[in-house]
Chains A and B, each alone.
Chain A
Amino acid sequence: GENVEQHPSTLSVQEGDSAVIKCTYSDSASNYFPWYKQELGKRPQLIIDIRSNVGEKKDQRIAVTLNKTAKHFSLHITETQPEDSAVYFCAASIGLTGGGNKLTFGTGTQLKVEL
C-alpha cells in the first residue's frame, strides 16, 4: 500500500522567515498530492494541491513542488505570519476504478511562527 513520510514533525520559525515541509511517497502510481492545514481544534482544510503532470504550483505565499522521479514533494511558506501556526498534513492519492480517490496522509508537521 501507499506510504507517506513527512518531515519535520515540528518546525519553529521567526515571523517573516520561510518554512519548508517535506514528504516522500512510495507508490509511483500516485497522481495527486494535496496539503491540508489544521488549526487547533478545527477540521483539516485544503490549502494547495498539485497533480502529477505539474512540477510546481504557487498560490500567494504558499507553493508546492513535486519531484516524481525521486517521489517527493514539498510545501514552501514564505513570509510566515502568526496565523500560519497550525498542523500541516501532506497526502498522496491513488484514483479508484470505482470512482473517488483514496488519500494516504503523512503524520503531520506542527508549525509554530514566533513573533
Chain B
Amino acid sequence: NAGVTQTPKFQVLKTGQSMTLQCAQDMNHNSMYWYRQDPGMGLRLIYYSASEGTTDKGEVPNGYNVSRLNKREFSLRLESAAPSQTSVYFCASAWGMADYEQYFGPGTRLTVT
C-alpha cells in the first residue's frame, strides 16, 4: 500500500501560470481533502470531497479549483498563480463517518515568484 501519494514534490511557478497538483489514495477512502500549510497558521482546508462525485469549499478556496476524478484521485488546480499561493500543499484522505483519522500525503512545496 502506497497510502496517499502526491505529485509533484516541488514546483516553482511564475505569477499568472497555471498548474495542477495530483493526489491519489489506494486505501478505498471515501473522503479526500486539500490543505495548505503556512508558517504560524496551521493547516487550512482549501476544498474537500466527502464522497466520489461531490466537492465543497473549505476555509480558503479562492484561487483554486478541484476535481474528484474518481474514488482514488483528487486534483487541485491553480488557474492563475499568485505569490500569496506560495505554500506547502497537503492532500489527505479518510473513511466516511465511521472512522475519522485523516491520512496525509507527503506534500507539495510550491513557490510562486
A: residues with CB less than 8 A from B are 1, 6, 9, 32, 34, 42-46, 49, 89, 93, 95-96, 98-108
CB distance from A54 to the nearest CB of B (A): 13
- Is the beta-carbon distance between A34 and B50 smaller than 8 angstroms? no
User: Within the assembled complex, what's the spacing in Å between the Cα atoms of A9 and B40?
Assistant: 8
The total number of A-B Cβ pairs within 8 Å is 65
**Which single residue of chain A is at the shortest CB-CB distance from B48?**
A102
Per-position 1/0 for B84-113, Cβ under 8 A of A: 000000100010110011101111000000
- Is the beta-carbon distance between B50 and A98 smaller than 8 angstroms? yes
User: How many residues on chain B are close to A (CB under 8 Å)?
Assistant: 26
Query: Within 8 Å CB of A107, what residues of B?
Result: 40-42
Query: Within 8 Å CB of B42, what residues of A?
Result: 6, 89, 105-108
Query: Within 8 Å CB of A98, what residues of B?
Result: 50-51, 54
- Is the beta-carbon distance between A89 and B97 smaller than 8 angstroms? no
- Is the beta-carbon distance between A100 and B30 smaller than 8 angstroms? yes
Q: Is B78 an interface residue (CB 8 A)?
A: no
Query: Within 8 Å CB of A89, what residues of B?
Result: 42-43
Beyond A93-B100, A98-B51, whether A103 also contacts B90 by CB under 8 A is: no
- Is the beta-carbon distance between B106 and A43 smaller than 8 angstroms? yes
Q: Is B58 an interface residue (CB 8 A)?
A: yes
Q: Is B72 an interface residue (CB 8 A)?
A: no
- Is the beta-carbon distance between B90 and A44 smaller than 8 angstroms? yes
